[in-house]
């Protein structure tokens, strides 16, 4: 079975672009005919296997910005796409834009050509480009999309950069404790055997020696076992009921909960605001923003809000009822709806929340780092105490 990208015509003469899986080109052609579509072009996608992993957000942002600059300077769209296809910085992205250019040359709209490659262009991008093509302001849409992706990449980089030190601390600390308990502590067991028979070992020493036996015996098994448990838990999170429970617990953690909630709300506000700015209707924009929210509970809240909007109600009240969005954010959305400036307000809310997230992350890291160091010091101190106490007892007995 292979994937075949096709361009076909409906009975009304409308072009349709998509991807079908089939055993051969003839099978795909037969499937198109059964759907009452007239094939125009069918190409196998087997050579694009390397594109399934997507591309860098920054590379895609730079491509959108460059294409917007070219269009603003009067360069035709086809020539701009060919220029992007000739870039050497990213062979994967260059190949993608080359294929998009081929589709556009065959008469396919840019948004439809992008929609046929969902591994590269998400629904948010396609919807914004489609609105720009229909409204005649494609260069503005591409420029905003480039800015939007660049801001997303910057935010992700700041969060990851802030988490690097705690992660390194956890990994190094775990490795040190593994060596201490797995290699160093078991060497003291023969020395303390006679003390245990005569006067008995202190409880802390027995605990330390027991941990040493456990790590030295099962240490090599623990790593794959933990990996297997993590994989099982990851698979369980794919189930809607389990993911909701996990999300519910995470959002109620003391420090991590507010941070994760603010990240999800900021992502939703920025995506929704950016799409509204580019002329996407509110209901369609909410559906796309819902899929990209990254939080199961927030997705439910957005779905309820979309249903309320479909019935002619305001957006803010159903979002407030979910309890996931802060009251000040709800108040700003309410003001934006009343002033008919919801798109600008949502972008402002996203920027405010991102600044708040940076402050919250800074505070959380200031708390986590000393706690990790303190925990590591306490464990090493207990190990030292467990090993030194019997030696002190031996010294006292000799005297």
300 confidence band (pLDDT: 50, 70, 90): confident
Give the pLDDT mean for 124-129: 83
Q: Which residues pair with 18 in a beta bridge?
A: 6
* Mean pLDDT of the 135-154 span: 85
Q: What percent of the chain has pLDDT over 70?
A: 91
Which SS3 state, helix, strand or coil, does residue 41 take? strand
Spell 331-343 as b/e; 16+ CB within 10 A means b: ebbbebbeeeebb
> Around Cβ 310, how many Cβ atoms within 10 Å?
11
Identify which of 105-109, 241-245, 254-258 has the greatest average pLDDT.
105-109
Question: Please, which pLDDT band fits residue 262 given cuts at 50, 70 and 90?
Answer: confident
Cα dihedral across residues 386, 388, 392, 394: positive or negative: positive
C-alpha–C-alpha distance, residues 78 and 95, integer Å: 15
**Mean pLDDT, residues 243-258 taken together:** 79
Q: What is the dihedral of CA 254, 257, 260, 265, to 10 degrees?
A: -120
The structure tokens listed for 76 are 């035709």
* Residue 341 per-residue DSSP state: -
What pLDDT is recorded for position 197?
58
Q: What pLDDT, on a 0 to 100 scale, did the predictor assign at position 46?
A: 46
Q: Each residue of 2-49: pLDDT tens digit?
A: 667 777 778 777 777 777 767 677 777 888 888 888 877 777 654 443
Q: Can you give the C-alpha Rg of the chain in angstroms?
A: 29
Query: pLDDT by residue (tens digit) across 53-75?
Result: 457 888 899 999 999 999 999 99
Length of the chain measured in residues: 399
Phi/psi at 206 (nearest 5 deg)?
-65, -40
Instruction: Give the list of residues 6+ apart from residue 279 with CB closer than 8 angstroms, or none.
Output: 131, 132, 134, 135, 137
Provide the pLDDT for residue 394. Answer: 64
Q: Mean pLDDT lowest for which of 89-93, 268-272, 380-384?
A: 89-93
Q: What is the mean pLDDT of residues 253-278?
A: 83
Is residue 281 pLDDT above 80, yes or no?
A: yes
Q: Say yes or no to pLDDT of 162 above 60.
A: yes
pLDDT of residue 47: 43
Confidence of residue 383 (pLDDT cuts 50, 70, 90): confident
For the segment(s) 144-399, the CATH number from 3.40.50.620, 3.20.20.140, 1.20.81.30, 1.10.10.10 is: 1.20.81.30
Mean per-residue pLDDT over the chain, rounded? 81
Domain ranges of the chain: 1-44, 144-399
Q: What is the pLDDT of residues 67-101, one digit of tens each?
A: 999 999 999 999 999 999 888 777 888 888 988 89
pLDDT of 192: 75
CA–CA dist 167, 143 (Å, integer)? 36
Note the pLDDT of residue 393. Answer: 67
According to the model, what pLDDT value does residue 67 have? 92
pLDDT at position 199 over 70: no
Top-confidence residue, 93 or 1: 93
Closest CA to 188 of 206, 170, 214, 175: 206
Residue 52, pLDDT score = 40
pLDDT for the residue 68? 92
Report strand pairing: 15-22 vs 38-44: unpaired
Is 311 a residue whose pLDDT tops 70? yes
pLDDT at 297 over 90: no
């Amino acid at each position: 079975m292979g994937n075949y990208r096709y361009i076909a015509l409906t009975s009304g003469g409308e072009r349709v672009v998509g991807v079908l899986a089939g055993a051969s080109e003839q099978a795909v052609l037969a499937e198109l005919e059964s759907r009452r579509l007239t094939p125009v072009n069918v190409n196998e996608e087997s050579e694009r296997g390397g594109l399934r992993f997507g591309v860098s957000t920054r590379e895609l942002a730079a491509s959108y910005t460059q294409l917007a600059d070219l269009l603003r300077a009067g360069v035709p769209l086809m020539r701009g796409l060919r220029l992007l296809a000739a870039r050497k910085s990213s062979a994967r992205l260059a190949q993608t834009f080359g294929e998009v250019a081929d589709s556009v040359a065959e008469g396919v709209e840019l948004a439809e050509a992008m929609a046929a490659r969902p591994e590269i262009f998400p629904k948010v991008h396609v919807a914004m480009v489609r609105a720009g093509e229909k409204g005649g302001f494609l260069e503005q849409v591409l420029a905003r999309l480039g800015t939007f992706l660049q801001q997303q990449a910057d935010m992700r980089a700041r969060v990851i950069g802030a988490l690097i030190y705690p992660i390194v601390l956890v990994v190094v600390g775990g490795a040190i404790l593994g060596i201490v308990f797995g290699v160093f502590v078991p060497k003291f067991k023969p020395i303390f055997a006679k003390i245990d028979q005569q006067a008995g070992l202190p409880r802390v020493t027995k605990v330390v020696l027991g941990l040493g036996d456990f790590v030295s015996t099962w240490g090599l098994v623990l790593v794959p076992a933990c990996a297997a448990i993590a994989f099982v838990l990851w698979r369980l999170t794919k189930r809607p009921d389990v993911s909701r429970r996990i999300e519910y617990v995470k959002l109620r953690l003391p420090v991590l909960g507010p941070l994760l909630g603010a990240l999800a709300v900021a992502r939703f506000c920025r995506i929704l605001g950016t799409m509204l700015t580019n002329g996407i209707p509110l209901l369609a924009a909410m559906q796309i923003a819902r899929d990209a929210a990254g939080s199961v509970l927030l997705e439910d809240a957005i779905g309820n809000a979309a249903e309320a909007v479909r019935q002619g109600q305001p957006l803010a009240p159903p979002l407030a009822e979910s309890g996931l969005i802060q009251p000040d954010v709800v108040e700003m959305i309410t003001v934006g709806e009343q002033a008919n400036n919801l798109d600008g307000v949502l972008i402002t809310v996203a920027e405010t929340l991102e600044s708040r997230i940076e402050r919250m992350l800074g505070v959380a890291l200031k708390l986590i780092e000393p706690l990790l160091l303190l925990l590591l010091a306490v464990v090493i101190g207990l190990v030292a105490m467990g090993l030194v106490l019997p030696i002190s007892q031996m010294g006292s007995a000799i005297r």
